[in-house]
Amino acid sequence: MSEKECTFYRTLYEVAKVINSSLEPATVLAGIVEQTARALEAKACTIRLLDRKGLTLLASAAWGLSAGYLRKGPIEVAKSGLDQEVLAGKPVQVKDVRSDTRFQYPEAARKEDIASVLVLPLTVGAKPIGVMRVYSNTVRDFTPVEVDFASAIANLSAIAIENARLHQALKTDYELLAETTYAIHDL
C-alpha cells in the first residue's frame, strides 16, 4: 500500500470519528472539508447544499478559501453547467477552470489562485442534496484513486448531513409535543 493510500485510510477513519462525535452540522462539515483538502494535498475544499427550492447551492462549509472568494456571488444551478452535471449524479473534474465555460466564476477563481477543481455529488438515496468541491492551485488531473477517495468522503458527508437533519426534525417534533402536552395540562 502506498503512503498516499495510507493517508486516505487514516483520513476516512478521522472523518468517521468527526461524523460520530457530533450531530452539529457546522462542526462535522468543517472537520470533513479540512481533512479532505489535507489528504488530497489540495488548496481548499467546500461543501455546498441546495436551498429548499433546489435552485441555488449555499455555502455550508469551507476550508482554505478567502472570505472574498466565498462571497463572490450565488451558485445558481441554472447558470452552472458544472454543477448541473454533478447534481445528475457523477463526479466531474475540471483541469483548468480558467478556460472551462462550465465554471460560473472563472475570474474569481483566477484571483483566488484556483487552477483545477474536482466536484462530487452529495446524494441521499438518489436525491441530490449538494456538492463537494476540491480545489487545487496547480493544474492537475485527479487520479482515479483520488476520485474514489473523495467520492467515499462525499457519501459519508451526505449521510452525516441527513442524520443531522433527521435529528433536528426529531428534536423539533419532541419540543412541539412537549409544548402541546404542557398546554393540555394547563387547561
Of 78, 100, 98, 74, the C-alpha closest to 87 is 78
pLDDT recorded at residue 56:
95
Q: Rounded distance, CA 81 to CA 94, Å? A: 12
State pLDDT tens for residues 54-84.
Answer: 999 999 999 999 999 999 888 999 998 899 9
Under 8 Å between Cβ of 18 and 28: yes
State pLDDT tens for residues 26-45.
Answer: 888 999 999 999 999 999 99
Instruction: Calculate what percentage of the chain has a pLDDT beyond 70.
Output: 96
Using pLDDT thresholds of 50, 70 and 90, give the confidence band for residue 127: very high
What is the chain's mean pLDDT, rounded?
90
pLDDT recorded at residue 74:
87
